[in-house]
Amino acid sequence: MLAMADSSSNYISDYISDYISDRVEIINTALKKFIADLEAGGSPVYEAVYYSLFPGGKRLRPILTMAAAEALGVSHSRAIRPACALELIHSYSLVHDDLPCMDDDDFRRGRPTVHRAFGEALALLAGDALISLAFEVLSSPGAVAELGAETCVRLVDELARASGGLGMVGGQALELSCAGKAGHLDVQLEKLEKVAMLKTGALFKASLRCGAIVAGADDRTLDALTRFAGYFGLAFQAADDLADMDSDDDSVSLARAYGAAKTRSVIRDFRERAISELGFLGERARILRSLTDLLCKQ
C-alpha cells in the first residue's frame, strides 16, 4: 500500500513539474515577444529590462493566471496577456525593492541585482518601463482584438488596484515601517499579516482574478477564487519566511513573529482553507490544488 501511495505521489509531483515547465516556456516566449519593440527601437533600457526578466524566477503569478483560466474551461493562450502583465509588474517590484533606498540588496537569484549591474538610475528607469509595458500589454489594439475592450478595461483595473497604494505598493510601504522592530514582534504581528496580504497577496489575488475574468467567470466564482488567493498568499508567505528563518538576515517576518512551530501550523491551516475554496471546481482544480500543496509546505 505504501509503495502504491509513493508511486501516486511521484506521479502527481511529475505531473505538476511538467505543467510548470511547459507554462514557464510559454510565458518566457511571450515575454520576449512583448519586449521586442524595446530592442527594435533601440531603447536604452532594453538590456536592463531583459536582465530583470531573464532567466527569471518561478513565474508563479502568470502560472496561477493560466491555471485559473484553464480550470474554468479556457485555453491558457487566452490568459497569456494578463499572465505576462502580472509578471512584468512583479519584476518591476523586485528591481525597485532591491534599490539602496529600499532593501539595498546586492544579489538576486545568484547574480548582481539590476542596480549593481546597470547603476541605480537605469535600474529605476527599467522598473518604470516594466510598469508601463505591463499596462500596454493589456490595453494595446492587439489586446483589444484578442480579448475585447470590456475585458481589457477590467484587466487593467484589476492590475492597477492590485499593484498600487492599496495593494502591493501599500504593502511595501507598510513593511518599511516594520523595519528595525524585531524586539517588538508581538506588536508587529497584525501589521506583518497585513504586509503579507498586500505586498504578496494582492498580486496573487489579481493573478487568479485575471485568469477568471478572461474566462468570463461570474461574481460567485470570482469571490471564491479571491478567497482562495488570500489564503494561498498567506500560506506562501509564511512558508517562504520559514525557509529563510535560519539565515543571517535579521529582518522582521511572519515566521519570526509566530515562531517556527506556530508558523508550520499556520501554513497548514491556510493551505487547507485555500484548497477548501476550490471545492466547487471539483477535478478542474487539480492544478491549483497541486500548486498549493507544492508551494505552501510547512
DSSP readout, 141-192?
Answer: HHHHHHH-HHHHHHHHHHHHHHHSTTTHHHHHHHHHTTTT-GGGHHHHHHHH
In a domain, 52, yes or no: yes
Residue 272, pLDDT > 90, answer yes
217 to each of 151, 224, 266, 279, 291, how far by Cα in Å? Answer: 11, 11, 30, 16, 21
pLDDT at 192: 84
Residue 12, pLDDT > 90, answer no
In a domain, 5, yes or no: no
User: pLDDT-derived band of residue 5, with 50, 70 and 90 as boundaries?
Assistant: very low
User: pLDDT-derived band of residue 212, with 50, 70 and 90 as boundaries?
Assistant: very high
Percent of the chain with pLDDT over 70: 91
DSSP 112: E
Q: Regarding predicted confidence, which is higher, 108 or 7?
A: 108
Cα separation of 145 and 91, whole Å?
26
CATH number (domain holding residue 123) = 1.10.600.10
Could you list the residue range(s) of the whole structural domain that residue 193 is in? 11-295
User: Tens digits of per-residue pLDDT, 175-208?
Assistant: 888 765 544 445 467 888 888 899 999 999 999 9
Residue 1, pLDDT > 70, answer no
In a domain, 2, yes or no: no
In a domain, 171, yes or no: yes
At 140, the amino acid letter reads S
User: Tens digits of per-residue pLDDT, 22-52?
Assistant: 999 999 999 999 999 999 999 999 999 999 9
How many distinct structural domains can be found in the chain? 1
194 to each of 104, 230, 250, how far by Cα in Å? Answer: 23, 11, 20
Q: Regarding predicted confidence, which is higher, 1 or 34?
A: 34
Residue 276: Cβ within 10 Å count = 11
Percent of the chain with pLDDT over 90: 78
User: pLDDT-derived band of residue 253, with 50, 70 and 90 as boundaries?
Assistant: confident
In a domain, 4, yes or no: no
Q: Regarding predicted confidence, which is higher, 7 or 85?
A: 85
> What's the start-to-end Cα distance of the chain, in Å?
25
In a domain, 257, yes or no: yes
In a domain, 6, yes or no: no
pLDDT at 15: 85
pLDDT at 236: 94
pLDDT-wise least confident of 12-16, 32-36, 62-66, 279-283: 12-16
Cis peptide before 55 (omega within 30 of 0): yes
pLDDT at 257: 81
Minimal CA–CA distance to 82: which of 62, 67, 64? 62
User: Tens digits of per-residue pLDDT, 236-252?
Assistant: 999 998 988 766 566 67
Residue 3, pLDDT > 50, answer no
pLDDT at 256: 82
In a domain, 3, yes or no: no
Residue 292, pLDDT > 80, answer yes
Kindly state the average pLDDT of the residues 99-110.
Answer: 93
In sequence order, what are the residues at sequence separation of 6 or more whose Cβ sits closer than 8 angstroms to the Cβ of residue 193? 234, 254
111 sits in which H/E element: strand 111-112
- The rounded mean pLDDT for the chain is 91
